[in-house]
């Protein structure tokens, strides 16, 4: 800790899932040899309740532990270390006097403010499209929680206007805990109350009213589990004090420096502009069954019209070609989507709308709000290097490969998503 501090840095914390992938990628690039490294994690004076001291964050339930860890061997293992190589990053508990290597990192912004902003922002405006907020730090938190609980952008936008299933309730809990606003099923009021005091301007009655609402929502205890309680807290906050929350949000937003950026970068999607080709589109629109067209093979599959273009394109050209026909390059976010197209077209390498550009550890589908998961592609391991931009697939068999955007393949276009 002292060495890192002397460098103007902090001892490593693994408070977010994406950071496990980040440190593994360094080892896959032969920048370091596998070993055990100190983190800032500790449960000293608070047994079994580990937290990262440098980040001032609790160790999450989704943390990646080595098998059998933590075991507190000898009754005095209060510090956390991480074993890392190119494929594994796992936590172990150790005696704090053990001598291990260590990793320092830089914190460039106030994480707490970012997360408070995001959690409250969604209470204020649940109809706001995520696409208009892609450059904000809040987007990073949404992405991580959404990947854990398989929440689409569409579900996120409707979260205050629909009944919540367990996934969505746990998604809310993830946001609340990451924001430092919910701990053990209670609202953490320090950050908000500081703003409320300033807003009240010495008016004790207004301050008391706001604090009473906070107390009421914080004391929601009838939920079946932590996810249910978090959802009830969110609902209560939205119902009891929407105007207060709006003022808190405004104050928090003003406190965030303009230079702050996303917690971790999501893969980049291309900007697509095109002019519709009326002749080719009319030919496509006239066919509602399998047919060979001048532009490729068309088929109606799973209530969607697909076109497998019969000419090779770069990735950017593939997006543009689909656009010219009034279609989109196909995203395949689920096993169902993949099963629909398998064996329906020629066995040729074909571009999909998956993007790995700029962030292989946080890929995305560019034409669908479904979350990206490597798990739906059999035999494919997550990409850690940055040399590839996209994902191509053989639509006959489902075999996939990572490719540079300059490579030329066929394109699979689709007209709509359910």
Q: Of the candidates 254, 269, 301, which is a domain's last residue?
A: 254
pLDDT band, very low/low/confident/very high, at 379 (cuts 50, 70, 90): low
The answer on 193 and 122 residing in a single domain is yes
Cis peptide before 70 (omega within 30 of 0): yes
- The whole-number pLDDT of residue 47 equals 86
Residue 302 has pLDDT above 80, yes or no: yes
- The whole-number pLDDT of residue 363 equals 85
Please state, in angstroms and as integers, the Cα–Cα distance from residue 368 to each residue in 121, 241, 352, 405, 418, following that order. 23, 34, 11, 19, 10
The answer on 186 and 125 residing in a single domain is yes
The answer on 130 and 49 residing in a single domain is no
CATH number of the structural domain spanning residue 320 = 3.10.100.10
Q: Decide: 77 and 228 in contact? Cβ < 8 Å.
A: no
Residue 135 has pLDDT above 70, yes or no: no
- The DSSP letter of residue 42 is E
The answer on 292 and 227 residing in a single domain is no
| H or E segment and range at residue 280 | helix 278-285
Considering 180-194, 332-346, 380-394, the range whose residues carry the highest mean pLDDT is 332-346
The answer on 396 and 373 residing in a single domain is yes
Q: Which residue has the higher pLDDT, 390 or 372?
A: 390
Least confident of 62-66, 115-119, 321-325, 367-371: 115-119
Q: Decide: 399 and 378 in contact? Cβ < 8 Å.
A: no
Give ∠ CA 356-39-97 in degrees, rounded to 5.
155
Pick the closest to residue 24 from 387, 267, 383, 358 (CA basis). 383
Residue 373 Ramachandran class (φ > 0 left, ψ -120 to 50 alpha, else beta): beta
Which tokens in the block code for residue 69? 């860890």
Task: Quote the distance between the C-alpha of residue 399 and its chain's center.
Answer: 26
The answer on 318 and 300 residing in a single domain is yes
Does residue 31 sit within a domain?
yes
- The whole-number pLDDT of residue 179 equals 56
Taking the C-alpha atoms of residue 112 and residue 412, their distance in angstroms, rounded to an integer, is 42
Q: Of the candidates 105, 132, 148, which is a domain's last residue?
A: 105
Taking the C-alpha atoms of residue 82 and residue 65, their distance in angstroms, rounded to an integer, is 9
Residue 258 has pLDDT above 50, yes or no: no
Does residue 14 sit within a domain?
yes
Least confident of 212-221, 241-250, 373-382, 392-401: 241-250
Q: Which residue has the higher pLDDT, 9 or 294?
A: 294
Q: Which residue has the higher pLDDT, 146 or 332?
A: 332
Q: Which residue has the higher pLDDT, 32 or 61?
A: 61
- How many domains does the chain divide into? 3
Question: Position of tokens 């001291």?
Answer: 53
Pick the closest to residue 383 from 367, 404, 369 (CA basis). 404
Residue 57, beta-bridge partner list: 52
Taking the C-alpha atoms of residue 195 and residue 203, their distance in angstroms, rounded to an integer, is 13
Q: At what angle do helices 226-240 and 111-124 cross, to 10 degrees?
A: 70
- The whole-number pLDDT of residue 195 equals 65
DSSP-H helix ranges across 150-256:
153-157, 166-178, 190-200, 204-218, 226-240, 242-254
The answer on 310 and 289 residing in a single domain is yes
Residues above pLDDT 70, as percent of the chain: 75
The answer on 118 and 96 residing in a single domain is no
pTM of the model: 0.45
Taking the C-alpha atoms of residue 280 and residue 295, their distance in angstroms, rounded to an integer, is 7
DSSP-H helix ranges across 92-183:
111-124, 137-149, 153-157, 166-178
Does residue 158 sit within a domain?
yes
The answer on 406 and 330 residing in a single domain is yes
Q: What is the span of the domain harbouring residue 334?
A: 278-414
pLDDT band, very low/low/confident/very high, at 217 (cuts 50, 70, 90): confident
What average pLDDT does this structure show over 353-377? 82
Least confident of 141-145, 329-333, 364-368: 141-145
Q: Decide: 351 and 405 in contact? Cβ < 8 Å.
A: no
Does residue 360 sit within a domain?
yes
pLDDT digits (tens, 9 = 90+) for 60-114: 777 899 999 999 998 999 999 999 988 889 999 999 999 999 998 875 434 334 4
Residue 131 has pLDDT above 50, yes or no: no
Taking the C-alpha atoms of residue 13 and residue 41, their distance in angstroms, rounded to an integer, is 7
Q: Which residue has the higher pLDDT, 392 or 207?
A: 392
Which tokens in the block code for residue 299? 């088929």
Q: Decide: 136 and 266 in contact? Cβ < 8 Å.
A: no
Residue 168 has pLDDT above 90, yes or no: no
Q: Decide: 51 and 101 in contact? Cβ < 8 Å.
A: no
Which tokens in the block code for residue 397? 């068999």
Residue 386 has pLDDT above 50, yes or no: yes
Considering 6-10, 84-88, 120-124, the range whose residues carry the highest mean pLDDT is 84-88
3 state DSSP class of 369: coil
Does residue 259 sit within a domain?
no
Taking the C-alpha atoms of residue 122 and residue 327, their distance in angstroms, rounded to an integer, is 31
Residue 137 has pLDDT above 50, yes or no: no
Please state, in angstroms and as integers, the Cα–Cα distance from residue 195 to each residue in 150, 213, 220, following that order. 33, 15, 22
What average pLDDT does this structure show over 348-352? 94
Which pairing describes strands 400-403 and 410-414: parallel, antiparallel, or unpaired? unpaired
| H or E segment and range at residue 255 | none
Does residue 270 sit within a domain?
no
Residue 340 has pLDDT above 60, yes or no: yes
Does residue 338 sit within a domain?
yes
The answer on 208 and 150 residing in a single domain is yes
- The whole-number pLDDT of residue 56 equals 76
- The whole-number pLDDT of residue 247 equals 62
- Give the other-Cβ count within 10 Å of 33's Cβ: 9
- The whole-number pLDDT of residue 222 equals 63
pLDDT band, very low/low/confident/very high, at 185 (cuts 50, 70, 90): low
Q: Decide: 333 and 367 in contact? Cβ < 8 Å.
A: no
- The whole-number pLDDT of residue 384 equals 64
Q: Which residue has the higher pLDDT, 24 or 148?
A: 24
The answer on 181 and 128 residing in a single domain is yes
């Amino acid at each position: 800790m002292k060495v890192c501090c002397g460098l103007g840095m902090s001892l490593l914390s693994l408070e977010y899932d994406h950071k496990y992938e980040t440190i593994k990628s360094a080892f896959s690039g032969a920048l370091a040899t596998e070993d055990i490294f100190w983190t800032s994690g500790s449960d000293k004076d608070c047994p079994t309740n580990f937290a990262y001291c440098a980040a001032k964050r609790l160790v999450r339930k989704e943390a990646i532990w080595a098998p059998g860890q933590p075991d507190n061997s000898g009754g005095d293992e209060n510090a956390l270390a991480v074993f890392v190589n190119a494929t594994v990053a796992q936590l172990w508990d150790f005696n704090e006097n053990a001598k291990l290597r260590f990793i320092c990192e830089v914190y460039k912004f106030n994480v707490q403010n970012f997360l408070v902003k995001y959690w409250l922002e969604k209470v204020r405006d649940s109809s706001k499209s995520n696409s208009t907020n892609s450059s904000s730090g809040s987007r990073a938190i949404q992405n991580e929680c959404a990947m854990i609980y398989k929440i689409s952008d569409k579900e996120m936008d409707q979260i205050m206007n629909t009944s919540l299933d367990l996934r969505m309730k746990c998604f809310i809990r993830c946001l609340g805990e990451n924001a430092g606003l919910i701990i053990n099923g209670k609202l953490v009021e320090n950050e908000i109350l500081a703003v409320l005091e300033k807003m009240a301007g010495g008016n004790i009655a207004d301050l008391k009213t706001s604090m009473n609402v906070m107390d009421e929502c914080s004391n929601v205890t009838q939920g079946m589990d932590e996810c249910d309680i978090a959802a009830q807290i969110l609902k209560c906050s939205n119902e009891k004090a929407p105007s207060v929350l709006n003022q808190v949000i405004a104050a928090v937003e003003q406190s965030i420096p303009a230079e702050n950026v996303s917690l971790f970068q999501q893969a980049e999607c291309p900007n697509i502009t095109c002019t519709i080709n009326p002749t080719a589109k009319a030919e496509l629109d006239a066919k509602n069954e399998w047919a060979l067209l001048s532009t490729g093979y068309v088929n109606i599959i799973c209530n969607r019209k697909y076109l497998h273009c019969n000419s090779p394109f770069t990735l950017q050209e593939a997006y543009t070609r689909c656009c010219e026909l009034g279609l989109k390059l196909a995203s395949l976010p689920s096993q169902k989507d993949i099963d629909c197209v398998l064996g329906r077209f020629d066995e040729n390498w074909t571009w999909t709308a998956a993007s790995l550009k700029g962030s292989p550890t946080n890929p995305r589908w560019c034409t669908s709000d479904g979350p990206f998961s490597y798990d739906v592609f059999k035999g494919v391991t997550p990409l850690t290097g940055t040399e590839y931009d996209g994902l191509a697939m053989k639509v006959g068999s489902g075999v996939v490969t990572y490719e540079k955007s300059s490579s030329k393949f066929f394109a699979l276009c689709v007209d709509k998503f359910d």
